[in-house]
Chains A and B, each alone.
Chain A
Amino acid sequence: MSDALKSRERRTPRHIWGKLLLLALICYFLVPVWWLLVASTKNAEGLFAGSGALWFRGGFHFFDNLHDLFAYNNGEFLTWLGNSVLYALTGGIGCTVISVLAGYGFAKFNFRGRNLVFAAVLGSVVVPLTSLVIPTFVLMTNIGLIDTIWAVILPSLLSPFAVYLMRVYAAASIPDELLDAARIDGAGELRTFFRVALPLMRPGVITVLLLSVVSTWNNFFLPLVMLSTSKLYPLTVGITLWTTLASSNNGGGQSLWNLIIVGSLVSIVPLVIAFLTLQKYWRGGLAVGSLK
């Protein structure tokens, strides 16, 4: 006991440097978020005051800003927020369903051509996904889906990485004996999947769901290219539109910056909360992703 204590004391100085370094890292990674929080409480004067950018000053205007945000231009921010929720939920849930089914299929059925198809899926991770956006744009134009919600939702359903993740997860978490037992008991393949396999894969499913919802919510390139009607924009594209307006000073200049700042804060809060509350899931899921 005293020995352990001693060695702990001896080790303390080294950890102090480590902890200081951790504190420095925390400060660095927190600075932009802190600035955003502080800036969202300022009015235009406080924002452009030219001093104390990292501290509160000039009164607390957070709720005024919030009110202006949702009132601006007939409440277009609310429309964008709704669109983001729609795209993230449909794209994210759809992608999860498709990937879980495929991951289970790849892991638990030894069908002809499986390895070939899976090699193609793995290889496609190297394909620059952004290079697919332009041909997808032309294809969507040809079939008349351009500038509709489908042009954003349908391509979001594809995630080779999620399939890879689910295959590894299904292989590790579902014992074959259990599936065979269910089959011998006369359960059909679908019933076996829903009653036996799916409950065992639940943590993996939640990880994939979280990751795909986040990637759809955060997506910018795809909706930017596919959509031209501002009523269909998600938050990421909408806020960028405001930035362009504010920079060129056509859209009311200074006052718009306040809205952009509060709007950014509102846009990041749901995902930060989701990540904080579901952290035991995604940490496990990302661990699977780090396997080779």
Chain B
Amino acid sequence: MVSTTPPTALSAGAVVPDTPAAPGGRRGSARRHWVGWFFILPFLVVFLAFLVAPLAYAGYLSLYTKGLATGTTFAGIDNYKRAFTDPSFLHGLWFVLKFSLVVIPLQVFVALAAALLLDEIVGRLARFARLIIFLPYAIPVVLGSLMWGFLYSPSFGPIEQISTLFNVQAPFLLSQGNIFYGLLNVVTWQWAGYYMIIIYAALQGIDTSIYEAARTDGATARQIAFRIKIPMITPALALILVFALIGTLQFFVEPKVLGPIANGTVTPDFTPNIYAVTLALQYAQFNYASAISFSLGFVVFLAVAIFMFVTRKRGSLFT
């Protein structure tokens, strides 16, 4: 079923056009300025109150320390020095970086494969598959993680039972050694469908006459997929990779939810975000927690910048 709403037609690479000021003379355009500000005003208030202000406040907090005897004193970059030498922070950071390097290619691979299949195959099965693959997006991450936690569980999950059937020792996917893979599966299941829909929408936006021309020239379906389709959707792929990178480095909900089931595998410093929340809410170390958050933000920013720099050389990713 091809969507009939206008935006799909847009995906052929529309840009935000600069609206020329409407005719109406000087007075009219000066008035128009104020009307523009008026429309964005509510958003601007929310933006300042819940993005700019917290960010500035966190920056401020991170530069101070609070001692019981000494009170609040200016600490400069001491909190940051402490963060980047803190084994707990570095351990969590290492985990999310390692995790990103595996989970992002995996997710994008599943999403891309599914989208290419759905672009090629039409019919009831394909429509049904598209819905089911996207379904996890409508399920809260908390509950998605919980469901997989149940499936992993030795007491009521099927893994134990299937393993007994084959007479092998069941792997507990939330143990110290396996939780990496357990989480890998949960995250891929939760997000691959969302990425699939974005890639699929981009594929549907490609003018099909290109495929006809390629077929006339003797191109196979595989060649069309790899030489035409994938290169043409690189902007969508780049967008997904950036989203996935930002999301995965801030890893929080899945390990947090699986923590109680995992019998102590998820430590309070499992990921930088979990560590920051533990510091803030359990130990009331807001200054240091802010520094940890900022340090994480800095790493995210750096990772996105590196990614953009690397892909820029390939030319077409960000155009």
Contacts and interface: CB of A to CB of B under 8 A. Distances in A.
The judgment on whether A and B are partners is yes
A36 B49 CA distance: 40
A58 to B, nearest CB: 12
A188 B253 CA distance: 47
Contact of B40 (A28, A105, A154): A105
B51 A284 contact: no
Contacts of A217: 140
B155 A48 contact: yes
Given A180-B22, A283-B8, A291-B10, A268 B161 contact: no
Contacts of A104: 39
A44 B4 CA distance: 48
B143 A239 contact: yes
Contact of B32 (A110, A132, A157, A288): A110
A29 B249 contact: no
B206 to A, nearest CB: 12
Interface residues of B, number: 121
Contacts of B242: 126
Interface in A48-99: 48, 50-54, 97-99
Nearest to B233: A290
Interface stretch (B69-77, B98-106, B146-154): B146-154
B16 interface: yes
Interface stretch (B55-63, B87-95, B175-183): B55-63
A69 to B, nearest CB: 14
A29 B193 contact: yes
A292 B235 contact: yes
Contacts of A288: 7, 10-11
A290 B17 CA distance: 17
Contacts of B310: none
A136 B161 CA distance: 46
Given A111-B36, A134-B280, A18 B50 contact: no
B219 interface: no
B62 to A, nearest CB: 9
A244 B260 contact: yes
Interface residues of A, number: 118
Given A25-B129, A101-B43, A109-B33, A176 B318 contact: no
Given A35-B150, A53-B158, A101-B39, A271 B138 contact: yes
A243 interface: yes
A247 interface: yes
With a 10 A CB-CB cut-off, give which of A131, A136, A169, A248 has the most chain B CB atoms.
Answer: A131
B50 A155 contact: yes
A127 B51 contact: yes
Interface string B123-143: 001101101111111111111
B252 interface: yes
A232 to B, nearest CB: 16
Contacts of B150: 32, 35-36, 39, 261
Contact of B6 (A173, A214, A236): A173
Given A128-B246, A284-B5, 19 more contacts: A18-B117, A32-B151, A36-B150, A50-B155, A97-B42, A105-B37, A109-B19, A110-B19, A125-B246, A131-B273, A131-B276, A135-B293, A137-B281, A168-B10, A180-B22, A203-B6, A240-B142, A281-B5, A291-B235
Interface of B: 1, 3-8, 10-11, 13-24, 32-40, 42-44, 46-47, 49-51, 53-55, 57-58, 61, 110, 113-114, 117-118, 120-121, 125-126, 128-129, 131-144, 146-148, 150-151, 155-158, 160-161, 189, 193, 197-199, 201-202, 204-205, 221, 235-236, 238-239, 242, 246, 249-250, 252-253, 256-257, 260-261, 273, 276-277, 280-281, 286, 289-290, 293-294, 296-297, 300-301, 304, 318-319
4 closest pairs, A vs B, by CB?
A: A109-B36, A105-B39, A284-B5, A111-B36
13 contacts: A36-B147, A36-B150, A109-B33, A130-B273, A131-B58, A136-B50, A158-B46, A171-B17, A180-B22, A220-B257, A275-B134, A287-B201, A289-B198
